[in-house]
Structure 1
Amino acid sequence: MNQQARLLRIYTDEAAYVGDRKVYEVVASRARDAGLAGVTVLEALIGFGRSAHVHRRHVLESDRAVVVEIVDEDPRLRSFATQLADVPEIGLITLEAVEIITPTADADHNGGAKR
C-alpha cells in the first residue's frame, strides 16, 4: 500500500543555537512534542547557502551543515513550520510531496514483482 505525504526539510548548521541548545535538537524535540510521525537529523559532509559560508567539520570545531527531515501530513507540517518562527538562525525550510511505500510480504527483492 502506498500513500501520499509531505517531507519538511529544514537546513541549519551545527553552530546554530537557541539558548544553550542546538537548533536541530530544538526542532527535533518540538516535532516529537507535536506528535509528528518522525524526524531524522542528517549531517552533511559539506554545504553552503545564501551566505556562501562553507560548512564542514574542522579539526578543532564542528560547523557542518545539518538537515532535519520530517515526514507527515501536509496540514500538520505547515502548522509545525509556522511554530518555528521564534527559532533564530533556523535556515531554509522546504516542503515537498513524497510517496510512502509499504513493502508487502509477497514482493521479491528484485523490484517487488510477484512471480
Structure 2
Amino acid sequence: MKLQGEAKLVRIFLGESDKWQGRPLYEAIVLEAKKAGLAGATVFRGFMGFGAHSRIHSAKILQLSEDLPICVEIVDSEEKIQAFMPTLDQMVQEGLITMEKLEVIRYRSR
C-alpha cells in the first residue's frame, strides 16, 4: 500500500472498559480498521483523564481506575477515512472522535 502526501488522522477517545460485541472497543476498532484496509491504527493508554461525564480516571495507586483513558489513532487517505466513519459512528456510543489533516512523509514496509 502506498500512502504519501495529504491524509487524515482520526483520533477516538474512549474508556478502557468500553465494549463492542463482547470485546474491548479499542480492539474491535483496530480489527475493523484492518478489515477495511486502512493504512494503520494504534492504541494508546492514558495515565489520567476525564471526558463528558467529568469523572477523573487515573492510574494512581490510591485511586486505581479500571477504566483508564484510551486513544485510538487511525491514518489513511480522506476517501478511505470517510468510508470508515459510519462504522466508527456505529461502534462508538460514548466518547470523542476528532479528525485532522496531516501530511504523510513516509509510509513503508519491508
The TM-score range, normalised by the shorter chain, is 0.7 to 0.9
Correspondent of 1:64 among 50, 63, 68: 68
Could you say which residue in structure 2 is the equivalent of 1:78?
Answer: 82
Percent of aligned positions with the same letter in both sequences?
36
2:25 alignment partner AA: V
Per-residue deviation at 1:3?
Answer: 1.0
Larger Rg computed on CA atoms: 1
Residue 100 of structure 1 pairs with residue 108 of structure 2: no
Give TM-score, length-normalised by structure 2.
Answer: 0.81
Q: Which residue pairs with 2:91 in the alignment?
A: 87
For 2:43, the equivalent position in structure 1 comes to: 41
Q: CA deviation at 1:78?
A: 1.6
Unpaired runs of 5+ residues, structure 1, are: 103-115
Alignment gaps of 5+ in structure 2 = none
**Does the CA contact (< 8 Å) of 1:44 and 1:67 recur in 2?**
yes
Q: Are the structure 2 counterparts of residues 40 and 67 from structure 1 closer, same or farther at C-alpha, using a change threshold of 3 Å?
A: same
Between the two proteins, the alignment pairs up a number of residues equal to 102
For the aligned residues, what is the CA RMSD? 2.0
1:51-71 alpha-carbon deviations (Å, 9 max, x no partner): 101122365652110000001
